[in-house]
Amino acid sequence: MYEFLRNINAETQISIVISAITAIYTIVRNYFSSKRLKQVEKINEENYNWKKNFDIYKEENRQKNVLIQNLLSEQNTRASIIPYFNVVLKNNRIKKEENSLILEIGFINIGRESATNIGLSMKFPDKGLQGYFYSESYPKKNYYIYEYLSQYYAAAGEEVTFKIKVDLKDGEEICDFLKFKIKYSDLIGNEYEQEFRFGFSMLNRITYNLDNTSYKPVLLKK
């Protein structure tokens, strides 16, 4: 190789050296360019995947927000039309007979809209007319419907009444708390159930107990 180079003139040698340097430079440049291109492609791919995942995240959040807004709108609509009853107890509506006591009970619609298809909800279907009431006394007394609901609808501010009866032994005086439920519908067909608890006493004089509760309506069907 050395002898070969000695026999080549200087101009040719320079050309060979320049060609060799150029070839090496091209190889090195292509290597780094290829490496840089791969890095750029990797960054672009990462950016694309990040943007794609972010778009998916935004769409999922948008759908969640739409669902939440729909649920809130539905609840607000139902809350604006839901009837709400409060038990009404007046001592002058209690009637004592020889061996029985008749209690007239009312519930008034304190909601903003009307209730329809109102009915008493049976707690114990196998007991017939005695199956609508739960007695907390011991031993338990049997209460049965004496007069059914005065009406089956109630606009805002209207009251519905009914009467129940309990048989007594001679000279018997009782104190008791009772629970009962009603069912009704609002103006768009949602069905609700609402429970009430009230008490009365025959000691000294016959009065309703001030401790009474009108529970919140429960949605049964929409």
Same domain assignment for residues 109 and 72? no
Same domain assignment for residues 74 and 110? no
**Tens digits of per-residue pLDDT, 201-212?**
998 899 999 999
Split into its structural domains, the chain has a count of: 2
Q: Mapping DSSP to helix (H, G, I), strand (E, B) and coil, where does residue 87 land? A: strand
Same domain assignment for residues 108 and 55? no
Q: What is the pLDDT of residue 7?
A: 59
In 10-104, alpha helices (H):
10-81
Name which of 12-26, 93-107, 126-140, 161-175 the model is least confident about: 12-26
Is the per-residue pLDDT at 85 higher than 70? Answer: yes
Which residues make Cβ contacts (< 8 Å) with residue 214, sequence separation at least 6?
Answer: 85, 86, 87, 107, 194, 196
Mark which of 81, 101, 134 sits at the end of a domain: 81
Same domain assignment for residues 95 and 126? yes
pTM (2 d.p.): 0.65
Mark which of 81, 108, 132 sits at the end of a domain: 81
Q: What is the pLDDT of residue 43?
A: 78
Whole-number percent of the chain with pLDDT over 90: 49
Q: What is the pLDDT of residue 61?
A: 72
Pairing state between β 175-185 and 134-135:
antiparallel
Same domain assignment for residues 115 and 170? yes
Q: Mapping DSSP to helix (H, G, I), strand (E, B) and coil, where does residue 128 land? A: helix
Pairing state between β 134-135 and 143-147:
unpaired
Q: What is the DSSP letter of 44?
A: H
Tell me which residue range forms the domain holding 72. 2-81
Same domain assignment for residues 58 and 89? no
**Residue 107's domain is classified under what CATH number?**
2.60.40
Mark which of 62, 81, 100 sits at the end of a domain: 81
| Residue written as token pair 């200087």 | 10
Same domain assignment for residues 72 and 89? no
Q: What is the mean pLDDT of residues 9-31?
A: 71
